[in-house]
Amino acid sequence: MTSHAAAAPAAVLPGAADIQDAVGRWLVFLGAERRLSGKTVEAYGRDLRQFLAFLTGHLGGAPDVAAVLALKPADIRAFLAFRRAGADVGSRSLMRQLAALRSFSRHLEREGLGVASAFSAVKSPKLSKTLPRPLPAEAAVAVTGVDTRRDESSKDEWVLARDAAVLSLLYGSGLRISEALGICRADAPIGDRDSVTVIGKGRKTRTVPVLPQVRAAVGRYLTLCPFALAPEGPLFVGVRGKALSPRIIQLAVEELRLALGLPASATPHALRHSFATHLLSRGGDLRAIQELLGHASLSTTQVYTKVDSARLLAVFDSAHPRARLHGGGRE
């Protein structure tokens, strides 16, 4: 899997030859040993390029391994401040960049090149605590319906069926868009096949149940699809028969959002949020929902309990007689 190193070729990296070589070996390690996805390896390589470019100006010359090992926490904080101010980068992106830098510093230590203590001494940027925004159940069902866009869309019937099948998997099984588009034709959940195995974050696999309505949507798409899909090829394809791009589904949801008058928070990923929130509101077990979503930590899933509590309080404020009696405020 050495092709991962191509995400950030050493020849285009700022810095001395030894740092370029170290970065190249690190990227290969991320792909081959850590088994990170190609996109993640590419993002980490980009983070290192930006950091080394900053150091070139910050230190007044091309940095080498010794210069990186000698950095102080103030140097790392200067880079993060530079990124936040110059590129208007948010806290979440800065957290990922700092994670990339820390990973690279640990790689230098593993290779016996020295200890880069400055990276672990810098605190991660604080994230604003925003809750996921699920769709109301009626809206989520409408988004996954093939009839919602039929009258207003110029797209072929099979394309509408394809989009509905993908969105049905996001809402009906709680999949990420990458997981749905990663299903191969041979594993299509149709007929009596009531589950599907997907590859999630960190290349971890999990098996999730597929509702009859979702299986019917996938089956309808396959009936209408004009292409002969190879068993080991992608289940969902674009108009040229190639693997479907996530951007196409994002655009489809944008059309649906306008047609249904939904807020900007109505995205493909919001369907996954809706899946978890609606299960929880109907008494779903939190541990079971964690497994269905593929969360490594229960604390990640627990955020949906806050979403449901917020929804219940909003209903209380708008509907409870005593809340209305006191101007919508709770006693």
Q: Provide the 3-class DSSP secondary structure of residue 234.
A: strand
Q: Provide the 3-class DSSP secondary structure of residue 96.
A: helix
Does 137-319 carry CATH code 3.90.600.10? no
Q: Provide the 3-class DSSP secondary structure of residue 208.
A: strand
* Residue 330 confidence (pLDDT): 40
Q: Which of 44, 171, 221, 304 is catalytic?
A: 304
* Residue 172 confidence (pLDDT): 92
* Assigned token pair, 259: 């047609």
Q: Which of 4, 83, 176, 257 is catalytic?
A: 176
Q: Provide, rounded to the nearest whole percent, the portion of the chain with pLDDT above 70.
A: 84
d(CA 55, CA 14): 9
Question: Looking at the domain that runs over 2-121, which CATH code has it been given?
Answer: 1.10.150.130
Q: Which of 206, 295, 311, 320 is catalytic?
A: 295
Q: Are the CB atoms for 77 and 122 separated by under 8 Å?
A: yes
Domain 137-319 in the same topology as domain 2-121: no
**pTM of the shown model:** 0.59
The 10s digit of each residue's pLDDT in 103-150 is 999 999 999 999 988 998 888 777 555 666 888 888 999 999 877 776
Question: 315: pLDDT confidence band, cut at 50, 70 and 90?
Answer: very low
The 10s digit of each residue's pLDDT in 79-90 is 888 888 866 677
* Assigned token pair, 326: 């006191």
Choose the most confident range, by mean pLDDT, from 12-26, 177-191, 284-298: 177-191
Q: In terms of pLDDT, which residue wins out, 72 or 305?
A: 72
Instruction: Determine whether 201 is an active site residue.
Output: yes
Instruction: Determine whether 133 is an active site residue.
Output: no
pLDDT score of 323 more than 60: no
Instruction: Determine whether 102 is an active site residue.
Output: no
The 10s digit of each residue's pLDDT in 23-61 is 999 999 988 888 887 888 888 889 999 999 999 999 999
Nearest to 182 by CA among 208, 157, 212, 158: 208
Q: In terms of pLDDT, which residue wins out, 330 or 265?
A: 265
* Annotated domain spans of the chain: 2-121, 137-319
Q: In terms of pLDDT, which residue wins out, 295 or 130?
A: 295
